[in-house]
């Protein structure tokens, strides 16, 4: 878990299927791409930035929680979708970072997403460990 893999919207790119496929050298699924993380690509959150009328689109803030409109409608929408489908809440993650700091957040994430078999990282999108499970191609 690395701070540079925490996107402005609160997503931890370190356990995203696109990032895990990239870091484990898995072949891409047709019509998809690998990802090195929002910040590593020198990009901001692809979902929020396009729809952000505030500082994120102008690179004035590092995380959405720094915005006066936090949590905005767009962030609530993606966070709700991820909470329903993947049990991950962007807003809760951002509140944790704001209140307890990045080091505490990364420590919690490492424990929460650790594979019980090999210590690798579990994927938020499919629950698989790309290190020890038989993942031949990205099925994100």
Whether 119 maps to a domain, the answer reads no
Whether 132 maps to a domain, the answer reads no
Whether 94 maps to a domain, the answer reads yes
Using CA atoms, how far residue 20 sits from 51, 99, 119, in Å, is 26, 28, 14
Q: Is the dihedral of CA 26, 27, 29, 35 positive or negative?
A: positive
List own/partner pairs for 18-23 with CB under 8 A and 24 or more apart.
Answer: 18/138, 18/140, 20/121, 20/123, 20/130, 20/138, 21/130, 21/137, 21/138, 21/140, 23/130
Question: What's phi and psi for 57, nearest 5 deg?
Answer: -70, -20
Host domain of residue 54? 3-112
98-125 residue pLDDT tens: 999 999 999 999 999 999 888 989 999 8
Whether 44 maps to a domain, the answer reads yes
Whether 138 maps to a domain, the answer reads no
Whether 56 maps to a domain, the answer reads yes
Whether 118 maps to a domain, the answer reads no
66-88 residue pLDDT tens: 888 899 888 899 899 999 999 99
**pLDDT confidence of 7, banded at 50, 70, 90?**
confident
What predicted TM-score, i.e. pTM, was given to this entire model? 0.81
Beta bridge partners of 6: 12
Query: What's the total number of domains in the chain?
Result: 1
Output the six-digit token pair for 14: 């370190």
């Amino acid at each position: 878990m690395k701070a540079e893999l925490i996107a402005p919207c609160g997503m931890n790119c370190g356990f995203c299927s696109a990032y895990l496929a990239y870091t484990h050298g898995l072949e891409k699924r047709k019509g998809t791409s690998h990802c090195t993380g929002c910040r590593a690509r020198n990009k901001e959150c692809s979902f929020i930035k396009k729809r952000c009328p505030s500082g994120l689109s102008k690179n004035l803030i590092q995380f959405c929680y720094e915005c006066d409109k936090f949590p905005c409608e767009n962030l609530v929408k993606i966070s709700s979708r991820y909470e329903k489908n993947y049990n991950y809440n962007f807003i809760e993650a951002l509140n944790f970072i704001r209140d307890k700091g990045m080091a505490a957040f990364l420590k919690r994430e490492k424990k929460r997403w650790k594979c019980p078999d090999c210590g690798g990282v579990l994927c938020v999108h499919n629950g698989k460990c790309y290190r020890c499970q038989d993942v031949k191609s990205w099925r994100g």
